[in-house]
Amino acid sequence: MRFDTREVEYIVSEGRIPASALISIAKVRNEERSPGCPWKKKPIQMTNMLCLRRFYPIATRCFNCRTWSSDILLNQLNNFTNEHQVFSLVSKNRARLSEKHVKSAIKKLVQVQKKRPWSSETMDYIRSHSQFFVLRILAENKIECMDDEALVDVLYSVLWLDVDAHDSLVEELVIEGWKRLNELTPPLLSKFSLCVHEQHLHHSPLMGEIANVVDKKLDSIQDSRALSVVMNCISPVISWNFKKRLTEKADGLFEKTNISVNDARRFVQFLRNVSFPHWPLLKKCNNIFVQHSHELHVEDISIILGLYQNLQFNNTEFRLLAKEKLIEHKDNCTSPLNVMQLFVHLAPIVQQEMQKELSEKILLIADNLDGYQTLIVAEKMQEVQYRNPLLIQKIVSLLHKYLDRYKAYELLRVTNVLAMLHRPKSDIYSKLQQLSICHLQVKRVPADILMLVHVLSNLPSPYVDEAIVTQIDAVLPQCSLNQLSSFTVNLLKWMKHHKTNQKSYSAPYGSLLQKINSCAFQRLERINNLDLLLKELKYLHGKWFQEVLLEKTIAALYQLKDQITPSNVVKCASFLIGTNYRCTQLLDRIAAVAIEHIDQIYYSEVHVILVLFSLFNYEPPEAEKFFEACINHISLHLELFEPSLLVLLGYALASSGYFPQKMIKAIFNIEFLSKLDTELQILPWKSARKSTLQLMELNRAVCLECPELQIPWFHKCFCKQLKEKKSESFSLLQQQIYILLGEILGRSHYARCSVLTSYCYRIDFEFIIDKHRKPVPYIDQHVVPNSDNIGCTEAGHSYGKKRLPPGFQRIAVEFLDSEAFCKNSNHVKGYIAMKKRHLEILGYQVVQIPHYEWNSMELSSTEAKTEYLEKKVLGKALIS
């Protein structure tokens, strides 16, 4: 600790330390002061330092007597309204300032700035002011005398004022806080953890110590604000079990205390950080947002919607409120940040007129957008396929302007945006190439290298050299499966681009691809934990994975199938859906876990499991028990489902042949359908269209398979619109089958192609046989197949024409391509089986021609194909 004569005189006058104990120390400090700067002192001698540490803390804590003048200083500080008053007081009374005065002065500087619009000039002025330097020196000298609250407050304040993290004051405060971790109360611990987080010490030993203290004190924490803050700070260093404990603790606080909007937002942010969509906690947080929607500003709504998107969480009520509030603020927003947020969140869900209005507002403030905001706007333009030439030109020029400031992952995003906006501009691409190469020369982390390689491979002229290939080769053993897949995609792009020089490039590329395969196989063999494997497989897809890694991945999952539990069964089911690989042993294990632990699976996630079995058209050994458990679990929460999700559940069950009456009645009523229409208005158009089609297919399935429920068919107009919008085109293969079918039946007018049945099923080919099993010509058929088009028609019984005479039979011929089957078997998918079932209900006999038979070597000649088709068609037709 360091003092001068004035400090000593003040301390002595206060009666805090006897004059005889300190007067000699003050004389030594005056002698050691540097002549150039009266407040920058030389290092104190060890003997003096030890004397001071022995007497001063004891004196301040045992003889902490304050005079009336000290209270005056505190009162003055509390009443100040600007930084000039604070600095004036420090200048006149610096020898009399105690640790409380120092804390109050620094804190007042922060409070003053928070009441004003942020200004970098003001912040620079404060940090460079001589009296702020005095405050920092005084604070550093008095650290050991500060109580816990003062210590944390001073650290928070100096960091808020953007003092460098390597400043000696900041370092000393952090070290002292580290020593006192176990003594800090939950609110102070959370504030201290936030300070550590703001210094980017996310994975530091100190953050690990904070997490350990939180772990010990978790049961005693009842402050939702403190918990929500510290949860986010320690999220990078905690285990999976600790994440679950923190989430359960947060969930329990909703019943014990009032949760604010900010606390709820931080809880959702924690779930996003740890990639843990805990649905009960999300629902409770969403209720807080809905109840306090009047408190939400544009920034708050933008943050919450962004978090929901990352967590794939959807709530119609909040989205409607958000849309309404954003539209309310549309005309009042002037700041670039708010206008950007309005465009990002409104553009995908409003009509073209409002989209145009939002784009014009963006164009007006475009020059004030920073690099991050520009990139966000560009990505949203890409998402909504917005094609305003002026806005595109402006955004591209801004991206070019900010290129030097972007990090590696942002350069990748810029590259993707430019490709989708179709703006070939040589200078920006050349600059992207130069920056990526410069970054690559210093990057060593696989994720960074991968992103930069991806940039280089997606340029109009993909760039690669020997140094890049060597760098990729060096990091391959450290890469995850997803990273290995991405490297393969980039290499294949390079090989395609350089195919003219294949001799010079094939050797290094080939060896690198072999090494990637080898690393992937080794990684699969080493992983013995299912949760870790599923985490790596989450975003794994693409041709390389399907052709090289899929079977070994399924084998690895089979080896770990006993580790499938209620906590990971949904993730496992979701992965299998994406692979299109039908492994009955894994399906049986998933069904067994669902039957035994259905209560531990959150009700809104059951649809993933049902979609899996529906897609693969598979019934497990205890099928009735499995579907009954799932249906009962869902039925308890019908009123809590989002409308579109309930429609998906109904469709999945219908595809498997199950029609729970309670669910069907819940879906097909006016109130529910109104809610669904409202939700569809705020969903992206692709999601809305998908839900609309699923409702139509469910309506069709119920009408055909459960007529006793008396659900009307109300999609006739919708189907007519689909027919008008859809332009039919036919492959050469379909033309070939049509011609051969005409030869087999006698003439081409004996068959019709692309027939639209009642209930809007479209079948490839249709013909009719009479009661003697002879083909019957269509009298009104006037369609002649050609290379451009084969005519489309409608089934006679579909649109009011006469029904077939007694004994006549319609035959439907369906060509099944590879999409109709599971990847590893000849087992048809669920929607194909349901279509066959429905066509038979409509009176058809269905003939299916699998692609693997039609394209086989046995049917390589036209004669063989004709014989096969005749056997298939007429053989089926002759069956009574």
Q: DSSP string covering 678-705, please?
A: HHHHHS-HHHHHHHHHHHHHHHHHHHHH
Task: List beta partners, residue 643.
Answer: none
| pLDDT of 815 strictly over 60 | yes
Q: Crossing angle of helices 168-179/130-141, nearest 10°?
A: 30
Task: List beta partners, residue 816.
Answer: 850
Nearest to 570 by CA among 277, 309, 244, 828: 277
Q: Crossing angle of helices 481-497/502-526, nearest 10°?
A: 170
Average pLDDT (702-713) is 95
Nearest to 362 by CA among 385, 381, 348: 381
Architecture of domain 499-723: Alpha Horseshoe (1.25)
Q: 420-434, 738-752, 791-805: which has the minimum mean pLDDT? A: 791-805
Domain boundaries, the chain: 330-405, 499-723, 731-779+800-874
| pLDDT of 791 strictly over 50 | no
pLDDT band for 427, please (50, 70, 90 cuts). Answer: confident
Predicted confidence (pLDDT) per residue in 852-868, tens digit: 999 999 999 999 999 99
Residue 869 to residue 739: CA distance in whole angstroms: 11
| pLDDT of 879 strictly over 90 | no
| pLDDT of 789 strictly over 60 | no
pLDDT band for 2, please (50, 70, 90 cuts). Answer: very low
CA 55 to chain centre: 57
386 compared with 293, residue with greater pLDDT? 293
CB 126 within 8 A of CB 83: yes
> Which of 553-567, 738-752, 782-796 reaches the highest mean pLDDT?
553-567
Using a pLDDT cut of 70, give the percent of the chain over it.
86
CB 647 within 8 A of CB 697: no
Q: 310-324, 335-349, 460-474: which has the minimum mean pLDDT? A: 460-474
Predicted confidence (pLDDT) per residue in 264-285, tens digit: 999 999 999 998 889 999 999 9
Predicted local confidence at residue 71, as pLDDT: 62
Hey, what amino acid is at 804? L
Residue 747 to residue 34: CA distance in whole angstroms: 110
Q: What sign does the dihedral 146-150-152-158 (CA atoms) show?
A: negative
pLDDT band for 250, please (50, 70, 90 cuts). Answer: very high
Residue 277 to residue 286: CA distance in whole angstroms: 13
Q: What sign does the dihedral 191-193-197-199 (CA atoms) show?
A: positive
The two structure tokens encoding residue 108:
């007042």
Predicted confidence (pLDDT) per residue in 41-53, tens digit: 334 333 343 343 3
C-alpha separations of 333 from 545, 779, 824 in Å:
47, 67, 55
Strands 844-850 and 809-816: parallel
Q: 341-345, 450-454, 489-493, 593-597: which has the minimum mean pLDDT? A: 489-493
The two structure tokens encoding residue 300:
């708050």
Residue 664 to residue 654: CA distance in whole angstroms: 10
pLDDT band for 202, please (50, 70, 90 cuts). Answer: very high
Cβ atoms < 10 Å from Cβ of 61: 11
- For the purposes of burial, counting CB atoms within 10 Å of the CB of 515, is it exposed (0-12), middle (13-18) or buried (19 or more)? middle
Predicted confidence (pLDDT) per residue in 621-654, tens digit: 999 999 999 999 999 999 999 999 999 999 999 9
The two structure tokens encoding residue 236:
């990078």
Predicted confidence (pLDDT) per residue in 560-609, tens digit: 999 999 999 999 999 999 999 999 999 999 999 999 999 999 999 999 99
Which residues are CB-contacts of 110 (< 8 A; sequence separation ≥ 6)? Answer: 157, 160, 161
The two structure tokens encoding residue 47:
């003997």
Hey, what amino acid is at 670? I
Strands 775-776 and 844-850: unpaired
Predicted local confidence at residue 29, as pLDDT: 41
| pLDDT of 733 strictly over 90 | no
Nearest to 760 by CA among 682, 691, 703, 819: 703
Cα Rg of the chain (Å, integer): 36
Predicted confidence (pLDDT) per residue in 500-517, tens digit: 545 455 567 788 999 999
Residue 545 to residue 481: CA distance in whole angstroms: 9
pLDDT band for 5, please (50, 70, 90 cuts). Answer: very low
Predicted local confidence at residue 56, as pLDDT: 41
pLDDT band for 695, please (50, 70, 90 cuts). Answer: very high
Task: List beta partners, residue 828.
Answer: 821
Buried b (16+ CB within 10 A) or exposed e, 466-489: eebbebbeebbeebbbbbbbbbbb
Task: Count H helices and E strands in the chain, helices first.
Answer: 44, 6
| pLDDT of 12 strictly over 70 | no
Predicted local confidence at residue 726, as pLDDT: 65
Residue 231 to residue 233: CA distance in whole angstroms: 6
Q: Crossing angle of helices 466-475/446-457, nearest 10°?
A: 140
Which residues are CB-contacts of 757 (< 8 A; sequence separation ≥ 6)? Answer: 763, 794, 795, 798, 839, 842, 844
pLDDT band for 64, please (50, 70, 90 cuts). Answer: very low
| pLDDT of 141 strictly over 90 | yes
pLDDT band for 788, please (50, 70, 90 cuts). Answer: very low
Predicted local confidence at residue 591, as pLDDT: 97
Average pLDDT (457-478) is 87
DSSP per-residue codes, 791-837: --EE-GGGTTPPPPPTT-EEEEEEEE-GGGB-TTSSPBPHHHHHHHH
CA 659 to chain centre: 33
Predicted confidence (pLDDT) per residue in 101-113, tens digit: 999 999 999 999 9
Average pLDDT (456-475) is 86
Collapsing DSSP states into helix, strand and coil, what is residue 845? strand
The two structure tokens encoding residue 337:
């940040």
- For the purposes of burial, counting CB atoms within 10 Å of the CB of 713, is it exposed (0-12), middle (13-18) or buried (19 or more)? middle
Predicted confidence (pLDDT) per residue in 286-314, tens digit: 999 999 999 999 999 999 999 999 999 99
Collapsing DSSP states into helix, strand and coil, what is residue 144? helix
Predicted local confidence at residue 117, as pLDDT: 83
Using a pLDDT cut of 90, give the percent of the chain over it.
64
pLDDT band for 67, please (50, 70, 90 cuts). Answer: very low
* 731-779+800-874: in CATH 3.40.50: no
Hey, what amino acid is at 310? N
The two structure tokens encoding residue 222:
């009842």
| pLDDT of 875 strictly over 50 | yes
pLDDT band for 376, please (50, 70, 90 cuts). Answer: very high
Backbone φ, ψ for residue 161 (5° rounding): -80, 10
Which residues are CB-contacts of 134 (< 8 A; sequence separation ≥ 6)? Answer: 39, 90, 91, 94
Predicted local confidence at residue 750, as pLDDT: 85
Hey, what amino acid is at 101? H
Residue 162 to residue 176: CA distance in whole angstroms: 20
Predicted local confidence at residue 154, as pLDDT: 95
pLDDT band for 834, please (50, 70, 90 cuts). Answer: very high
CB 658 within 8 A of CB 705: no
Predicted local confidence at residue 280, as pLDDT: 93
Predicted local confidence at residue 426, as pLDDT: 66
Nearest to 469 by CA among 449, 497, 445: 449
